[in-house]
Amino acid sequence: MASSPPLPADSESREVSEKSGTRSYKDPFIVQPSGPHTHTIILLHGRGSNGPKFGKEFITSASSTGKNLSETFPFAKFIFPTAKKRRAVVFKRMPINQWFDLYDINRQGYREHLSVDGLQETTGFIHGLIEQEVQGGIAAERIVMGGLSQGCAASLYSLLCFNERLGGYVGMSGWLPFARHMQDIIEDESEGSSEDDIFARSDDEASESEKESTPDQISKAINFARENISHAPLSSSFTSLPVSKTLVFLGHGALDEKVKCNLGEGAQDVLMSLGFRVTWKKYNDLGHWYSVPDEIDDIERFLEKCLV
């Protein structure tokens, strides 16, 4: 493993303007660019963590070149927000930092309604962060978002509810909330829909997810995601999904016991059914985390395609 370069000297927590409902969140941990600011990367931590803890560790994780992502992309600002403390049902309603509540990560259909309120608020919060960057002069197509574990899940869901193309999406060790519902909608609208469980499919069956969906199928699935969190549905004149032009990277450890790898594969299936171009990477010797330096290398190569 390559040694981690020191955290950039200008890293600090900066106050984010109180717009779009962000005033009740703690200020994010921000790593400012060392050169002219042309791009922004927003990454969400996992359940029980926080922006500074996740951000400081991630931003100092080096690729095989010995550089961290801030050094490789000196023009990018990195934003690591912190989730609100929400009561966790599985922990006897103890407040913890989480983007939304849930009961069992690996039983996605069980008590999944617990996630709705948090996903609604978190989606509005993330969209607000993006809007602040846009108002500051960074176009949406120069903004990348993503996250780790539950941060991946929350940011993936908010991506589907966004109205524009972003520069890219980076997800690690995560899943897509309500993926089963969206895939069922797509399959129910298809001729000869399959009864297979997408979360238990083999690699040989992966080609099934590459079948092109119709605009009607896509709009119904996306409208489920939007209306599920009280977002306005797409118009009836829907012909394409601008956000689906966003390039997506998903990485997952094959040995992940906390968030099973097939949940990441299931997220890939749904996104591809919705027209997204997904780069999927499975790390055979990795559990629940991101791989250093292998996954950092892959993210670096992915960002090189996005940050143009």
User: All domains of the chain, ordered by start, with CATH?
Assistant: 11-306 (3.40.50.1820)
For the segment 81-108, what is each residue's pLDDT rounded down to a tens digit? 999 999 999 778 889 999 999 987 777 7
Average pLDDT over residues 235-260: 89
Confidence of residue 14 (pLDDT cuts 50, 70, 90): very low
Check residue 200 and give its pLDDT.
46
Check residue 194 and give its pLDDT.
42
Q: How crowded is residue 28: how many other Cβ atoms within 10 Å of its Cβ?
A: 23
C-alpha 305/C-alpha 296 separation (Å) is: 14
32 versus 188: which is more confidently predicted? 32
Q: Phi/psi at 250 (nearest 5 deg)?
A: -130, 125
pTM: predicted TM-score of the whole model, two decimal places: 0.86
Which one-letter amino acid corresponds to residue 26?
Answer: K
Confidence of residue 19 (pLDDT cuts 50, 70, 90): very low
Q: Residues of the chain with pLDDT > 70: what percent?
A: 83
For the segment 109-144, what is each residue's pLDDT rounded down to a tens digit? 667 889 999 999 999 999 999 999 999 999 999 999
Check residue 235 and give its pLDDT.
77
Output the average pLDDT for the chain: 86
Check residue 234 and give its pLDDT.
85
Q: Is the pLDDT of residue 18 over 50?
A: no
Cβ(43)–Cβ(151) below 8 Å:
yes
Q: Is the pLDDT of residue 193 over 70?
A: no
Check residue 10 and give its pLDDT.
40
Q: Is the pLDDT of residue 201 over 60?
A: no
For the segment 42-54, what is each residue's pLDDT rounded down to a tens digit? 999 999 999 999 9
User: Which residue is it, tokens 């969209």?
Assistant: 127
Check residue 107 and give its pLDDT.
73
Short-list 221, 217, 222, 216, CA closest to 236: 216
